[in-house]
Chains A and B, each alone.
Chain A
Amino acid sequence: MLADLAHGIAGFFSVVSVGTALLGLLAGIVIGALPGLTATMTIAVLTPFTFFMETAVALPFLLGVYKGAIYGGSIPAILINTPGTAAAAATTMDGHALAKQGRARHALEMSLYGSVIGDMLATLVLIAVTAPLAAIAIKFSSPEFTILFLFALTMIASVSGGSILKGLIAAAAGALIGCIGLDPMSGYQRFTFGIPDMSGGIALVPVLIGMFAISEVLIQSEKKVLRAVSAVTDGRGTPLPWAEMKRAMPAILRSSAIGTFLGALPGLGAEIACWVAYGDAKRRSKAPALYGKGSLEGVAAAETGNNATVPATLIPMLVFGIPGDTVTAILLGAFMAQGLLPGPLLFQQHGDVIYGLFGLLLLTNLLLLVFGLGAIRFIRHVVLIPHSILLPCVTVFCFAGAFAVSQSLFDVLVMLLGGFAGYAMRKTAVPIPPFVIALLLASPLENALRQSLLFSADGAWIFVTRPIAAGLLALFALSIGLVAWRALAGRHRKSSIVATT
């Protein structure tokens, strides 16, 4: 394998291949930063053009777009509270809070470092243990996914803010909206009220744009402030202190592992990984109270988690030829067009090309770091734009973005309704993230649960009779138990302090 790696890198590294990878990366960042434009659509548009390119040019370019887009989504999330991609939704939680405190640069840099480290570690995993990891990932079926989705659902507790009750109300609403559309198994229409546009379900991205961005515009319009932060505080924006980086390091490492693991499972992508990483980081944090109010650790966790899924989604695609999501499905076409048929034989027949590609992925990571730092010097000034100019611009972006997803005016309506709902929720202190998480998970969880019960000859026992499912269930119970025990211990300590005084 090392020989393959060395040989591949030698064959792959040229000014042209590195240059196109960089071009893809930059294009990806811009696309990711524009809400509504997705990596999937961009890669789908660009793939036919790579047909006639050399392998060493075509694939690095497309993978660059993919990576860049997932990172780029965090930029508007931080600066204007608009997740550029669904994978950056968790980043808005703390990223924008930091920007409002005049620490946009810290948040942007943390997001960049997190993304690069997460991507780097996941790529190393990809190089070292692709085949064994894929062999484990493919053993996961509906029962295991059911437990994972349930686990992801418990992240609602971490993002509910002050009131669990309000969090649960928001989650229930999200799950209800998530049920709209076709029954995932039989195709019956549910809650569509005969409206054709609703039969496909409520699209996630317009809801996200409305809930986060439009509600923010409405909230900001109420205030008389001129701009998000004063020119004085941001003008001096200092680079991210090393101490902060060190403090976030455990969260970054854990989020890398979470992102890599979830990405390797077909069907679980960056959109879910960002919330799981964020929720997990908060649970383990020494300063959980800061989450949602401007925690750099929170930004790092969300952004590391989503970027770590990118190389990992290639694992089931390359080893079994089974793409887990729509992006890898299109990448699969691009690989095949290059004569690289993903599947069990790929590593034996084209080991040098694949390892060369992996090597190049590592290099583009370093380039992302350099260019990201350069770009941050300029884009952080967005927060200095007066509100009278910025808010109308954001609104226009929201409309364009919601429309761009699938060129549907219905999506624009969804975005607007989501915006007003989000505004009402913020006014009544009902947290938005539980709504988003439930909306995201409702349909896949239902699907996985129903499949599991079909699988099972004896009902819910399937969740304990399958070894991996049982293991996950035990881990799940342990983690909840730990949280409960900590909470109880904390209360006990508090009450004992009260007792002694």
Chain B
Amino acid sequence: MLTKLPNRACRALLTAGLLCATIGAASAADFPDKPIRLVIPYPPGGASSLHGGVIATSAEPYFGQPMIPLIRHGGGGIAGASYVLQQPADGYTLLFGDVTINLLRPLVEKDIPFKIDDFEPIGRITLDPMVFVASPKAPFKTMKEMVAFATKNPDKLVYSSDNVNGWTYVAFKALMHKTGTKMRGIDFGGGGPAVANVLGGNTMAYAGAPAVVGEHVKGGALIALCTAGKARASTLPDVPTCTETGYDVMWQVWLGVLAKKGTPEPVLAKLRDGFGKLVTDKGLKALIARITSEIKYVGADAWKKELDEEKKSLMAIYALTQ
């Protein structure tokens, strides 16, 4: 009896092991059977973390599993994007990417440790114009005054920036190119720290997504100068477009969800389906509206086409930053 016991234990272990193996094999069909992580590649408080937090909060009913926002910032989004690529391609770790880390930077920078095609689009969530804002303490209240100030005082206008080829970086570089001015940007690594510094009066100006600056504009803590879209932003209808103010700066940025390339097709399909339904959720829409933003969802197929077309326009914008 005693001698048989280890044998039996072995058999039990073997059975358990086989069971686990079958569970592993069935995982694509059962997806998701554990929480999904949404990696936010920028510091807390920026557009990525604000939207990511809200989306993760509302996601559970559409996936049957909780979604956990995971902030991994550093290197202007590279740390977070690389982290996703280091995880297995099983759909449990998604990147909450954006126009710079998933498109512009791998397009124009040589040292980015990944390629655009290393990610598989799931769905675009937002598309917002950059909003130029000024601190109430700054010596200008309108776009004209800001440019006049910068012309008169080269290198004296200090603005909050994010990182090389980031949203704000591109916005101001383009403005400087169009106006022939020189301003000084401080790279704070993301919208959260950047907006904190313009709010604290440490810098004079900033350009960010409506979600980051909207509440402060409404509360009077920041002055909105213009929005860099084709038409006025529906979330900030009182703010003129940059073209209206006489400066033809166009810079719209998107946030979207991407998976690692190589994720099984059935898993991708489930994720695309889940996000497609999630963006119609009333609770989510209300929350997104509350952070002065709105959903502009585009499904994977249409988005892929858009991404291809966008490369050209991005190169045109990039040329302005040189």
Residue A446 is within 8 A (CB to CB) of chain B in the complex: no
Q: Which B residues from 41 to 66 make CB contacts under 8 A with A?
A: 44-45, 49-50, 53-54, 56-60, 66
Nearest CB of chain A from residue B58's CB, rounded to whole Å:
7
Contact with A along B22-40 (1 / 0, CB 8 A): 0000000000000100000
Complex contact A185–B193 (CB within 8 A) = no
Q: Which one of A320, A322, A337 contacts B287 once the chains associate, using CB atoms below 8 Å?
A: A337
What are the interface flags for A317-339 relative to B under an 8 Å C-beta threshold, 1 for contact and 0 otherwise? 00011111110111011101101
Stretch in B170-178, B194-202, B253-261, B271-279 with 4+ CB within 8 Å of A: B194-202
Question: Could you say which residues of chain B place their CB within 8 Å of the CB of A329?
Answer: 44-45, 49, 53, 69, 71, 192
Of A48, A142, A325, most B-chain CB atoms within 10 Å: A48
Minimum CB–CB distance for B194 against chain A, Å: 10
| Chain A residues numbered 305-352 whose CB sits less than 8 Å from any CB in chain B | 316, 320-326, 328-330, 332-334, 336-337, 339, 341, 343-345
A324–B59 CA distance with the chains assembled, in angstroms: 25
In contact, B79 and A181 (Cβ under 8 angstroms): yes
Q: Are B53 and A330 in contact (CB under 8 A)?
A: yes
Chain A, interface size: which category? 35 or more
Q: Are A196 and B189 in contact (CB under 8 A)?
A: no
Find out whether the CB atom of A196 lies under 8 angstroms from the CB atom of B86. Answer: yes
CB-nearest residue of chain B to A41: B68
Docked Cα-Cα span, A30 to B70, in Å, equals 22
- Is A44 part of the contact surface with B, judged by Cβ < 8 Å? yes
Bound-complex Cα distance A322 to B49 (A): 11
Are B290 and A336 in contact, with the CB atoms below 8 A? yes
Q: Tally B residues with Cβ within 8 Å of A.
A: 61
Q: Which of the candidate stretches B4-12, B126-134, B180-188, B231-239 sits at the interface with the other chain?
A: B180-188
Provide the A435-469 mask, 1 if CB < 8 A to any CB of B, else 0.
Answer: 00000000000010001001101000000000000
On whether the beta carbons of A321 and B215 are closer than 8 Å, the reply is: yes
A44 to B219, Cβ gap below 8 A?
Answer: no
CB distance from B256 to the nearest CB of A (A): 19
A455 to B159, CA, bound (A): 9
Which residues on the B side are within 8 Å of A11 (C-beta)? none
Determine whether A244 belongs to the interface, using a CB cutoff of 8 Å to chain B.
Answer: no
CB neighbours of A325 from chain B (8 A)? 44
Q: Which of A45, A142, A185 has the most CB of B within 10 A?
A: A185
B57 touches A334 (CB 8 A): yes
Q: Nearest chain-A residue to B45 (Cβ)?
A: A322
Q: Is the CB of B291 within 8 A of A328?
A: no
CB distance from A130 to the nearest CB of B (A): 16
Tell me if A191 counts as interface (CB < 8 A to partner B): no
Residues of A within 8 A of B (CB): 41, 44-45, 47-49, 51, 138-142, 181-189, 196-197, 199-201, 266-267, 316, 320-326, 328-330, 332-334, 336-337, 339, 341, 343-345, 408, 447, 451, 454-455, 457
Task: Offer 14 A-B interface pairs, CB within 8 angstroms, sorted by A.
Answer: A45-B35, A48-B66, A138-B200, A140-B200, A182-B79, A186-B163, A187-B76, A200-B79, A320-B216, A322-B45, A322-B199, A330-B69, A343-B219, A455-B158
Instruction: Give 10 closest A-B pairs by Cβ, nearest first.
Output: A333-B53, A187-B75, A329-B44, A182-B75, A138-B200, A141-B202, A344-B219, A323-B44, A187-B78, A44-B68
Which residues from chain B sit less than 8 Å from chain A, CB to CB? 35, 44-45, 49-50, 53-54, 56-60, 66-72, 74-79, 82-83, 85-86, 111-113, 155-156, 158, 163-164, 184-189, 192-193, 195-197, 199-203, 215-216, 219, 221, 283, 287, 290-291
